Structure 1
Amino acid sequence: MTYEELYQEATQLGIDIYEMPLKPRINGLYGDNVIGINKFIPTSTEKVCILAEELGHYFTSSGDILDQSEIANRKQEKRARSWGYEKLIPLNRFVQAHKHGIRNRYELADHLGVTEDFLESAINRYIEKYGTHVMVGTSIVTFEPLGVAKLFE
């Protein structure tokens, strides 16, 4: 999914998105149906990853969670990130990438239209959620090592 596609999806939900100057360490913010994306983010690939997480806040978070020293706020942050991972990299995309002959994490990130860091974080989250592997249809997606195996039918 591209930045433009996700942007369009968000605006159809009634969310306003603004690219604005934010502090260097802040990539995006969400509040009251408004998403701010740091206008200094250089690529649409990075922007789609940030937008997915901020949309995750729209769907999963409530209240002010900026204080990450609070456990409840960290949990909401994790839920929002998980939503973003599952939006941009649903499990069936690993199987599709395998069918397209994708051979490594760099190619996979490029194929999925996400950053390598986002892909790595998504894989780590999937390991937390499913363990080292999960069934996807008639395939097994393994996260350690990363790969896909097709089962006999």
Structure 2
Amino acid sequence: MNKYDYLLDIAERNGVMVCEKQFKSDAKGLCKGSKIGISKDLANAEKACVLAEELGHYFTTVGNILDQSIENNRKQEKVARVWGYNHLIRIDDLIQPILDGCSNIFEVAEFLEVTAECLLEIIGAFKEKYGAVYIAGEYKIIFNDYGYCVLN
């Protein structure tokens, strides 16, 4: 099951209706109550990233948080994004793409079925949570300004 289908399954099991639609604005996704709209013009990897964040809003935020000049809204936005990150990629998932020969962030993102932009945001969240180095069994994941590397 690909990431997008996995997230659609989470939505369905929790009574959230997801509809792919054409937005009049440049929005990629929108959550209102138990309905989520996703731009139908996106590739599946981007749909997965957008749906993960919108589900994060469904499960974690309260009210309209569109005005990001308000500190509480920014905090809720971050919580929603982290929820999404945690449902897209686990930190240990960063190891296999490197072992399989992925050599740059774009190849890793494709392997993990997310966009490179989303992957870099997730890596930043991991670095913020775990620090510059994370030990995963016999592997060491080292986070840097350009992504990460894995050492054995």
TM norm structure 2: 0.89
Q: Partner of 1:134: helix, strand, or coil?
A: strand
Aligned pairs (5 A) from 1:107-122: 107-122=107-122
Q: Which residue of 2 aligns with 1:16?
A: 17
What's the offset of the Cα at 1:9?
A: 2.1
| Aligned-residue identity in percent | 41
CA RMSD of aligned residues (A): 1.6
Cα deviation 1:106-128 (Å, max 9, x = unaligned): 11001000111111111122222
Q: Residue 132 of structure 2 contacts residue 143 of structure 2 at CA under 8 Å; is this kept in 1?
A: yes
SS in 1 for 2:149: strand
Q: Deviations over 1:39-58 (max 9, x none)?
A: 232x1111111001111112
- Distance (Å, rounded) in 2 between the aligned partners of 1:32 and 1:124: 29
One-letter code aligned to 1:36: G
In structure 2, give the amino acid aligned to 1:84. Answer: G
Q: Secondary structure at the match of 1:69?
A: coil
> Shift in Å at residue 30 of structure 1?
1.1
Q: What is the match of residue 128 of structure 1? A: 128
In the aligned structure 1, how far is the partner of 2:75 from the partner of 2:92? 26
The aligned runs of 1:51-66 (5 Å cut-off) are: 51-66=51-66
More displaced stretch, 92-101 vs 49-58: 92-101
Structure 2 counterpart of 1:101:
101
Q: State yes or no: 1:149 paired with 2:144.
A: no
> Is the Cα–Cα contact under 8 Å of residues 3 and 88 in structure 2 kept in the other structure?
no
Work out the CA distance in 2 between the residues paired with 1:99 and 1:9. 29
2:140 corresponds to 1:140: yes
Q: Deviations over 1:24-50 (max 9, x none)?
A: 331111121111112232x11111110
Name stretches of at least 5 consecutive residues in structure 2 with no aligned partner. none
Tell me, which stretches of 5 or more residues in structure 1 are unaligned? Answer: none
Moved over 4 A (4+): none
Alpha-carbon displacement from aligned partner over 1:44-91 (angstroms, at most 9, x marks no partner): 111111001111112221121111111101111111111111211110
Tell me, in whole angstroms, the C-alpha distance in 2 between the residues paired with 1:85 and 1:51.
11
State the one-letter code of the partner of 2:68: Q
| Secondary structure class of the residue paired with 1:25 | coil
What is the Cα deviation at residue 8 of structure 1? 2.0
